[in-house]
Structure 1
C-alpha cells in the first residue's frame, strides 16, 4: 500500500517514515497553501502532518495559521474525498480544544481555543467532521499533546541544560501535572489506525499513559545525567509576586512564563487505547529517559 505523507521532513514525519517504511511504500509531498490549487492524490493513504506550528516568538501573522492549518487542510481533504484513497489522518493538536485544562481533558470537551494556531486547527477539524465521507473511507483526527523523542529537544532541552549545569529548580512548590507523548507511541498509534479497520473514524487524543509533574521531570533528568536533582521549594506565593514584578521590570521570569512552567495540562488517552484494544508500547518515564539520553549526543 502506498502512503502520502505531507510534512515528511519534520520531526514527526521523519520518525513516521522510519517506522512505516518496512511495511509501506512512502511518498512525501511538499505542500503549502495556494489559492484555488487542487491536488491529485494517487495513493491508498494520506497522512497530513504539514502545518504551521505554534509561534512562541509571536512574530507570525494570523493569516499564516489559517492558510497553513485550515485552508491547506481543506484542499487536501477535498482531494482525498474524490480520490481512490481509503484513509485520511489529520494531525491536529490538543490546543485545538483548550489552552488551559482544569481536571483531565477528554474528547467530549467543548472546544474553546484561544490562539490563532488552535482556532485554525479547530476550523480544520470542523470542516473534516462536517464533510460527507463516501462509504468505505476512514478518517481520523489526532490531537497529540507535547511530542518528544530523540532529535527533538524543544522546551525539554531548557530543563536539561538547567540540570546539566547543576542549577537548582526553584519552582518545586508548584504541584502541576502535564501529559507528554513519546514519538514512538504516536507512530504506534498511527500504524494501528492504518491496519485495524475496526477502529472507527473520529477524533482521538494521543498521549502517554501517565502525566508527570515538572518536579518529576527534574528528577528524571538527574537520573539520566547521573546527578542529584536540586529542587528548591520556594513559596509559590513569593514566586508569583516576583513574576508579577517581572511583567513590569522585564525580569527573565514573568507571569506568562511562570504559567507555562507550572500549568496543569493532563490529557486522557482512554478513547484511543480502548479502540485499539492494546496498550501503548512505551511508558511515560521510559520514553522521557530515551529523549533525555539523546540530548547527550
Structure 2
C-alpha cells in the first residue's frame, strides 16, 4: 500500500488538480481546507499558531501548496509581514510538526519569483543559482525555502522544493483567464509584435512532477524548476490560445518599444515587463536528475485549458437561461 499524504491547499488551483491524481495513483490523501468539508482537515489559518498534530498522524509525505499568493492589488499596509506570517511562519510550523511526527518527505510548492522577475538580457534561470527575489511574495518564498532546507539538515526529514513559473490549465484564473476572455470577445489587442520568451507550465505537468518527487530517491533535499520545456512569446501564446478556442486572432502589430514606452508613461511599468519582458527557466536539472520530461505539450495544454473554459461558459449560460 502506498503511503499517506497530507495535502494543503486542496481547494486551490493546483491542489484541486493534484488531489484526484494522487488518489488515482493509489495514495491515501488527507486534504486540508479552510472550511469544513467531509473527509478533509480544516484549518482556520496558516500561521505559527496552527496545530497540525491530528492531521499528521501516520502521514508519510506532506505536499504543501497552500500559501498567501502574489496579488496585483495589494490591500495590506505591510505586505511583507503578511507574506511572512503565512508563507514563512506558517510553513515552518507545519514542517517542524511534520518532522516531529516522523514524516519522511516534505514537498514545498515555491515560485520562480524566488529566482527573480526577469531573464531579459540574461540566461534562463536555473535551480541552483544565487536567487534575487524582488517583491515581498518572492522574498517570503525564499525565506521559507531556506528554513526548510535548514530543518532538513537537523531533523533528517527530506525536503523537495519546486519552483513553477506561470501555471495554467482548466479553471485557471487571474491574468491567464483575462487573456482568454479578451480573445473570445474579439477585442483587438496591441500585442501582435512581442518577441519575448516566457516559460509556462501546464498544471498537468506540474502535478506529474510532484508525483515523481514523492518517491524518487534523488529528489531529496533538492530544488527543481519546472516548465512545459517550450518557451513562447506573448504574441505566439495568444495565437495558440485563439486557435485552441476556435476564434479569430485580432492582434495589432504595435512595435514592442512603443507599447513598453506607453505603459511606462502611464505608470504601468510592471505590466509592460510582464507583457514584453522575458522569463525563462532551465529545467535541465529536473529532467536529468529525475529522468523526467513534461508529458503535456504546450499546444495540448492550451487546448485542454480552452476546452474547459468553453464548457464552463456553456454551463453558466445554460444555468442563467434555465
Q: How high is the TM-score relative to the length of structure 1? A: 0.91
Matched, 1:25 2:31: no
RMSD (CA atoms): 1.8
Cα-to-partner distance string for 1:197-222 (whole Å, 9 max, x where unaligned): 24342111111111111111111122
Matched, 1:84 2:102: yes
Q: In 2 relative to 1, CA 188–35 (structure 1 residues): closer, same or farther, beyond 3 Å? A: closer
Matched, 1:280 2:298: no
Matched, 1:177 2:197: yes
Matched, 1:95 2:113: yes
Q: Unpaired runs of 5+ in structure 2?
A: 33-41, 312-322
2:5 to 3, 6, 10: 3
**Mapping of 1:139-288 within 5 angstroms?**
139-247=159-267, 254-288=268-302
**Following the alignment from structure 1 to structure 2, what is the Cα–Cα distance between the partners of residues 160 and 36?**
40
- Residue 71 of structure 2 is matched in structure 1 by 55
- Residue 129 of structure 2 is matched in structure 1 by 109
- Residue 61 of structure 2 is matched in structure 1 by 45
**Following the alignment from structure 2 to structure 1, what is the Cα–Cα distance between the partners of residues 219 and 114?**
22
**Following the alignment from structure 1 to structure 2, what is the Cα–Cα distance between the partners of residues 122 and 198?**
22
Cα-to-partner distance string for 1:242-286 (whole Å, 9 max, x where unaligned): 224323xxxxxx333222211211111221121221322111221
**Following the alignment from structure 2 to structure 1, what is the Cα–Cα distance between the partners of residues 65 and 256?**
39
- SS at 1:266 equivalent: coil
Superposition deviation, residue 113 in structure 1: 0.7
Q: Unpaired runs of 5+ in structure 1?
A: 248-253
Q: How many residues align?
A: 290
Contact 1:168 1:232 in 2 (8 A): yes
**Following the alignment from structure 1 to structure 2, what is the Cα–Cα distance between the partners of residues 69 and 98?**
17
**Following the alignment from structure 2 to structure 1, what is the Cα–Cα distance between the partners of residues 244 and 51?**
48
Contact 1:81 1:133 in 2 (8 A): no
Q: How high is the TM-score relative to the length of structure 2? A: 0.84
Contact 1:199 1:276 in 2 (8 A): yes
Superposition deviation, residue 290 in structure 1: 1.1
**Following the alignment from structure 1 to structure 2, what is the Cα–Cα distance between the partners of residues 128 and 240?**
39
- SS at 2:219 equivalent: coil
Cα-to-partner distance string for 1:102-124 (whole Å, 9 max, x where unaligned): 32010122111111111111000
**Following the alignment from structure 2 to structure 1, what is the Cα–Cα distance between the partners of residues 202 and 14?**
11
Matched, 1:64 2:82: yes
